Structure 1
Amino acid sequence: MEMTFPASFRDLPPKWAHFCLGIERFMRKELGVAPEDLQVLCAFSGGADSTALLLALHCLSLKNGGRVCAAHLDHGLRPKSDEDVLWCRQLCGQLNIPFQTERTDVAAEADASGRGIEETARVVRYKFLKQARSAEKLDWIATGHHLGDLSEDVVMRLVRGTGWPGLSGMPGVDRERSLMRPLLLTEKKTLCAFLETLGVSWREDETNADESMKRNRIRHTLMPLMLEENPNFPDSVARLWRLGRIDADYWLMQMNEATAGDLLSSAVLEEAHKALRLRLYKKYLDAVGSGQALADTLLKLDEAWLETRFGAVFQFPGDRVAKISPKGVLFGFKD
């Protein structure tokens, strides 16, 4: 099929103009990101998801102004990855979109760090994107995560034992990292149809079939079973995501009114419902340092506070501790 890039937003077929406007509404209403004069870096792997994202952002920039750039990280994991780089560079050239690329030996990085391949790839990818955004003086990084990715993420979080509202899946926007996911509630089949209409191909990553990676195992084993039981499972995930964002915003407001310093005071705890107390414990721990605070330990901490077991100390990953005192719960590092 011949590529038919629109010269202006009005040149888009009506169906796909509405598609782009839907992404614009999602950015504005759900993510709180104004699409006008948007300065954005597209994480561009060359796959269908990121290619559709790049085209959609390009079309919206024709309508709203702003600037779109693209960045591609070659993980050095596949023999033909250099062909992906060339393909991405050529597409960006046709669209007159600035393009950055870099090659990293992810396997060597994983060996040196002791992390798995998936985690290492994620860490180096976001480090590269952060540097690329800064170099181009852009406001946001946009990634092509879609509703299928969100569904897989919810299942993975369920398997890990994630609590609510984190169980509703990855956020659509992360302001601390200047990161947004404009396609998060869009189905992949819609993205592919968008590209096919414009006559744009994409690259297929054969490592997506490698079931030694956890996400691929979820995708190829659990997800088909979920869809067999409930074909509308992605729609359910989209509703769950929206409810989770509402609840997360509510609890953030409650915690912001109650947090300061390293002492969570008895006055605050005595007025708080247990649901709020547990979230406050976690927020104070996160302020001390990184590490996963297990729900069982948080529950034991709350039980100790209710029983006024002054002097009791609870340890958390990252050498963090919480100590019960007459004044409240004191958070810090292990001596």
Structure 2
Amino acid sequence: MFSVPENFPDTLQDLLPKWAHFCLYVEKFITGELQQDLAGKHVLVGFSGGVDSTALLLVLHYLSQRNDYSLTAVHLNHQLRPEAADDAAWCDAFCHFLGIQCVVASRDVGSYAIEHNLGVEEAGRQVRYALFDSVKKSTSANVLALGHQLDDLSEDVVMRLIRGTGWPGLSGMTGFDPQRQLIRPLLMIPKSTLIAFVTKTGVQWREDATNADSNWTRNRVRNSILPLIQKENPNFWQSVSRLWKIGRIEQDYWKSMTADISDSIENTRLFNTHQAVRLRLYKAALDRLGPGQALADTLFKLDEAWLEKRVGSTFQFPGEKVAKIVATGVIFSTTH
């Protein structure tokens, strides 16, 4: 169970200067890099009780005192481990200690996985986000904050590379998702820093034994692949951080360049245009039609057909999407 830490720093001013500056760095990342202002808002925090989400809750707790926003934590018991109920009780007690509302829910993720023919990891993700959405609505929260950090981002980049993700998606998860109103304030901070920070406050977080389970892809990447990469390049984390920042810049650029895209692209827009731009236009038109990742090989074939003026050629994409070469350009549609 939760035990009250000795000499716990109650305010930002009570922290050692190093850790106060650490919290202010997170604040700067939120307002600067993510361009989000939390002042006056209600922030929902995904809280597992692990060191990452504990660090996030502590940082946001300290920053709320100077930015005038309220916090609600939400914890999900996945019913997958014997100690899960104890974790839930610990999270509730810790939030009570901080004076933060905590919503604790329990879901049978194992049964959900079987019912929906999913892996346990994906089932847990779906159930968690459904809970976040539900609590966000019921509490009128403005934004959801999650504790993903730089090690998680590195894992995500490697996993995307394994799956064959293209650029700029290869740069990893977003820091701010406008559709879900989701932020990841710790994304540029390595886990080792979070461990040192929470340790200094005297808080004993919860450890999830399933993080060592090699049956999960993310754990194999974390525990086997990344250590080998770091051995070859000890600065890999910094490389991922730079990659992420470049990716965000490029995503913003292409988003503005394709903002006016519709379900048809005229030849006049495609003529005398670099292939990089044409491919982005095709992808933007397809993304506009709904879920389903546009595959690079099919995009290349579509562009080749347009260059060769093969009017009538049709290309199928995931999500029941279709691209057809016509005399005036390319038309995009769905089959449902």
Partner of 2:246: 243
Partner of 1:295: 296
- Aligned equivalents of 2:294 and 2:198: distance in 1? 43
Q: Which moved more, 1:214-223 or 1:133-142?
A: 133-142
Partner of 1:166: 169
Matched, 1:144 2:138: no
- Aligned equivalents of 2:119 and 2:265: distance in 1? 36
Distance 1:271 1:241, change over 3 A: same
Q: Residues 235-262 of structure 1: CA distance to partner in whole angstroms, max 9, x if unpaired?
A: 1110111111111111111111x413x1
Q: Which moved more, 1:173-182 or 1:7-16?
A: 7-16
Shift in Å at residue 82 of structure 1?
Answer: 0.3
Q: Residues 22-62 of structure 1: CA distance to partner in whole angstroms, max 9, x if unpaired?
A: 00000011101114334211100000000000000000001
Q: Which moved more, 1:113-122 or 1:53-62?
A: 113-122
Partner of 1:269: 270
Q: Note the aligned Cα RMSD (angstroms).
A: 1.3
- Aligned equivalents of 1:105 and 1:2: distance in 2? 32
Matched, 1:70 2:73: yes
Q: What SS is found at the alignment partner of 1:288? A: coil
- Aligned equivalents of 1:287 and 1:2: distance in 2? 51
Shift in Å at residue 211 of structure 1?
Answer: 0.6
- Aligned equivalents of 1:31 and 1:152: distance in 2? 21
- Aligned equivalents of 1:245 and 1:75: distance in 2? 33
The runs of 5 or more residues in structure 1 that have no matched partner are none
The runs of 5 or more residues in structure 2 that have no matched partner are none
TM value normalised by structure 2: 0.96
The one-letter code sitting in structure 1 at the alignment partner of 2:247 is G
- Aligned equivalents of 1:161 and 1:148: distance in 2? 20
Partner of 2:111: 108
The question of whether the paired residues in 2 share the 8 Å contact of 1:311 and 1:325 is answered with yes
Partner of 1:307: 308
Distance 1:69 1:4, change over 3 A: farther
Q: Residues 142-181 of structure 1: CA distance to partner in whole angstroms, max 9, x if unpaired?
A: 0000000001111111111111111111110101001010
Q: What SS is found at the alignment partner of 2:288? A: helix
Q: What SS is found at the alignment partner of 1:222? A: helix
Shift in Å at residue 272 of structure 1?
Answer: 3.2
Shift in Å at residue 134 of structure 1?
Answer: 1.4
Q: Give the alignment of 1:226-237 within 5 angstroms.
A: 226-237=229-240
Partner of 2:136: 133
Matched, 1:13 2:16: yes
Q: Residues 194-251 of structure 1: CA distance to partner in whole angstroms, max 9, x if unpaired?
A: 1111101100000000111000010111001011001111011101111111111111
Partner of 1:259: 261
- Aligned equivalents of 1:200 and 1:106: distance in 2? 28
The question of whether the paired residues in 2 share the 8 Å contact of 1:24 and 1:35 is answered with no
Partner of 1:85: 88
Q: What SS is found at the alignment partner of 1:177? A: coil
- Alignment partner for residue 223 of structure 1, among 198, 223, 226? 226
The question of whether the paired residues in 2 share the 8 Å contact of 1:6 and 1:59 is answered with no
Shift in Å at residue 326 of structure 1?
Answer: 1.2
Query: Percent identity at matched positions?
Result: 51
Shift in Å at residue 6 of structure 1?
Answer: 3.2
Q: Residues 56-91 of structure 1: CA distance to partner in whole angstroms, max 9, x if unpaired?
A: 000000121110110001111111100000000000
- Aligned equivalents of 2:68 and 2:144: distance in 1? 17
Partner of 2:189: 186
The question of whether the paired residues in 2 share the 8 Å contact of 1:49 and 1:191 is answered with yes
Q: Give the alignment of 1:88-99 within 5 angstroms.
A: 88-99=91-102
Q: Which moved more, 1:158-167 or 1:28-37?
A: 28-37
Q: What SS is found at the alignment partner of 1:141? A: strand
The question of whether the paired residues in 2 share the 8 Å contact of 1:37 and 1:61 is answered with no
